[in-house]
Amino acid sequence: TAAKSYAAVDLGASSGRVMVGRVGPGTLELTEAHRFPNRPVRVPEGLRWDILALYGGVLDGLRAAGQVDSVGIDSWAVDYGLLDADGALLGNPVHYRDTRTEGVAEKVWATVPAADLYAATGLQYAPFNTLYQLVAARATSQLADAECLLLIPDLLTYWLTGERGTELTNASTTQLVDPRTRDWSYDIAARLGVDLDLFPPLRRPGDPAGLLRGPVLEETGLTGPVPVTTVGSHDTASAVAAVPATGERFAYICTGTWSLAGLELDAPVLGEASRAANFTNELGLDNTVRYLRNIMGLWLLQECLREWGGPDLPALLREAAGVAPLRSVVDAGDAAFLAPGRMPARIAEACRASGQPVPGSRAETTRCILDSLALAHRRAVREAQELADHPVDVVHIVGGGTRNELLCQLTADACGLPVVAGPAEAAALGNVLVQARAQGAVGDRAAMRRLLAATQPLRRYEPRGDSAAWQAAEARLAGR
């Protein structure tokens, strides 16, 4: 059978891209059709996504992709657009780094204690969970006028096809889904006054999501019918689906703007110890659970680069590789780093406050960030294994951070485990493979992973000695 082509729209917090995947027996090739920046915009009312620019980028990308057998869309989680009764978008979607959710969680916990919320939804505490965003928006006229809420990939799918749905893996990041039933958490929604009728019916990866509308075909030059297929529309769900693991005993770290570090499990882990460690139970493909921790990720470095006026990254990383290791580390899991701005100064302040040397150059700041990320990776990988009672012997790193060799090596060193790095475009590959699977062009999840392992360039990093230094750095950070 001839190879088929699939367009994967993958929107990350720092850039959007439309990739074309060709899938046939023993074949999986990915090419980039179009990449465009994702630049949030600050307006007087707060930080917003430029959703029309992103949709424009998607259309440009589909035109560049050419004729394909299907289209799939994934993006970052938790955020949404509201539609009025006529189906028109009510305002620009609010960015999850906007300050409107400050102090909201505490108010929610006064109604539903944090422990009950975790037991019911299995979701980590993050200030930006959709639930907290909706509670923050409670008194706004926009929410009062809304008839429908669409998560970002569902909104773009609606614009492309005219059809509405709520994709499950991304819905699981709202904190309104029960990871055991894989359905809405009706009780939590009722107790917090969230109107679940705003959400269109749930759909799952592999489900049809409509056909490209006539005007979209016209604008992109494609010949219909072109189906849109529901994929793991949470980018991290797609990325985990594309971890090229060959066995069961693996941990993964999806590195990009965030580092998402954890395990693929068959069932959620909902106990108090898990809540205290702030692990999340997001839903993955088929009946899997993505048991992971959010770590600030390369956001820390992106924000420094922005402040420094965009110096050459590879050159900076070469310099950072020569800096003395583990001089100062910061807590890369700390939500204090969530907001944009002044990142080098904030990192310096964190070092000073914990009695460590303050990085004196860009290379030292960069090294501090990468050491700190590797240390956070180490803790997450270890604690996930302990909490889920699921030992691993390899760590897979996927996403844009695989291009950072220093980060991959430091992660291997810190974890004391071999790291297999790649693919860099895991989310797009997971997106492509779910479309291919829906059309019968590839087998089950294990077959998808075998195909990835056989076709994608991967790089292996062996751990280098001195785990005591990492242990000491971890203790220093914990104030022990």
Give the binding site for ligand LRH (CB under 6 A): 12-13, 76-78, 96, 234-236, 257-258, 260, 294
Minimum CB distance to ligand LRH smaller for 4 or for 290: 290
Contact 151, 171 (CB under 8 A): yes
3-state helix, strand, coil in the chain (%, to 5): 40, 20, 40
Out of ligand ADP, ligand LRH, none, which partner does residue 302 contact, by CB within 5 to 8 A per kind? ligand ADP
Minimum CB distance to ligand LRH smaller for 13 or for 300: 13
> Is residue 475 classed exposed, middle or buried when 0-12, 13-18 and 19+ CB atoms within 10 A define those classes?
exposed
Q: Does 422 bind ligand ADP (CB under 6 A)?
A: no
Distance of CA 365 to the CA centre of its chain: 25
Q: Does 61 bind ligand ADP (CB under 6 A)?
A: no
Classify 40 as helix, strand or coil.
coil
The site that binds ligand ADP (CB under 6 A) totals a number of residues, namely: 17
Instruction: Pick the piece of the chain touching ligand ADP (CB under 6 A) from 7-15, 89-97, 171-179, 412-420.
Output: 7-15
- List of residues 6+ apart from 278 with CB closer than 8 A: 124, 125, 293, 333
Minimum CB distance to ligand ADP smaller for 121 or for 173: 173
Q: For 346-463, where are the E strands, in sequence order?
A: 394-398, 419-421, 459-461
> Is residue 325 classed exposed, middle or buried when 0-12, 13-18 and 19+ CB atoms within 10 A define those classes?
middle
Give the nearest distance from C-beta 378 to ligand ADP in angstroms.
Answer: 19
Rounded to whole angstroms, the Cα distance separating 198 from 149 reads 5
Out of ligand ADP, ligand LRH, none, which partner does residue 359 contact, by CB within 5 to 8 A per kind? none
The question of whether 86 is a catalytic residue gets the answer no
Give the nearest distance from C-beta 439 to ligand LRH in angstroms.
Answer: 26
Q: What pairs with residue 292 in β-bridges?
A: 262, 280
Give the nearest distance from C-beta 20 to ligand ADP in angstroms.
Answer: 17
Query: CA–CA distance from 267 to each of 64, 182, 270, 389, 458 (Å)?
Result: 41, 11, 9, 12, 29
Q: Does 423 bind ligand ADP (CB under 6 A)?
A: no
Out of ligand ADP, ligand LRH, none, which partner does residue 260 contact, by CB within 5 to 8 A per kind? ligand LRH
Considering the candidates 74, 154, 235, 371, report the single residue annotated as catalytic: 235
- List of residues 6+ apart from 229 with CB closer than 8 A: 70, 71, 72, 206, 207, 208, 209, 434, 435, 438, 439
Query: CA–CA distance from 104 to each of 94, 189, 224, 276 (Å)?
Result: 15, 16, 46, 19
Instruction: Pick the piece of the chain touching ligand ADP (CB under 6 A) from 107-115, 154-162, 309-317, 345-353.
Output: 309-317
Choosing from 257, 274, 280, 431, the residue that interacts with ligand ADP (CB under 6 A) is 257
Rounded to whole angstroms, the Cα distance separating 357 from 118 reads 38
DSSP 419: E
Q: In this structure, which amino acid lies at residue 279?
A: F
Q: Does 12 bind ligand ADP (CB under 6 A)?
A: yes
Which positions from 282 through 301 interact with ligand ADP, judged by CB under 6 A? 298, 301
Out of ligand ADP, ligand LRH, none, which partner does residue 404 contact, by CB within 5 to 8 A per kind? ligand ADP
Give the nearest distance from C-beta 303 to ligand LRH in angstroms.
Answer: 15
Give the nearest distance from C-beta 411 to ligand LRH in angstroms.
Answer: 18
Instruction: Pick the piece of the chain touching ligand ADP (CB under 6 A) from 10-18, 29-37, 92-100, 449-457.
Output: 10-18
Give the nearest distance from C-beta 151 to ligand LRH in angstroms.
Answer: 11
Structure tokens at 429: 């590959």
Minimum CB distance to ligand LRH smaller for 222 or for 260: 260
Minimum CB distance to ligand LRH smaller for 129 or for 409: 129
Contact 94, 47 (CB under 8 A): yes
Rounded to whole angstroms, the Cα distance separating 399 from 423 reads 6
Rounded to whole angstroms, the Cα distance separating 150 from 164 reads 8
Minimum CB distance to ligand LRH smaller for 211 or for 265: 265
Contact 35, 463 (CB under 8 A): no
**Which string of DSSP letters, residue by residue, matches 323-357?**
SPTTS----TT-GGG-S-S-HHHHHHHHHHHTT-P
Q: Does 404 bind ligand ADP (CB under 6 A)?
A: yes
Minimum CB distance to ligand ADP smaller for 14 or for 455: 14
Give the nearest distance from C-beta 405 to ligand ADP in angstroms.
Answer: 8
Q: Catalytic positions, please?
A: 235
Q: Which residues bind ligand ADP (CB under 6 A)?
A: 12-15, 256-257, 298, 301-302, 313-314, 317, 399-401, 403-404
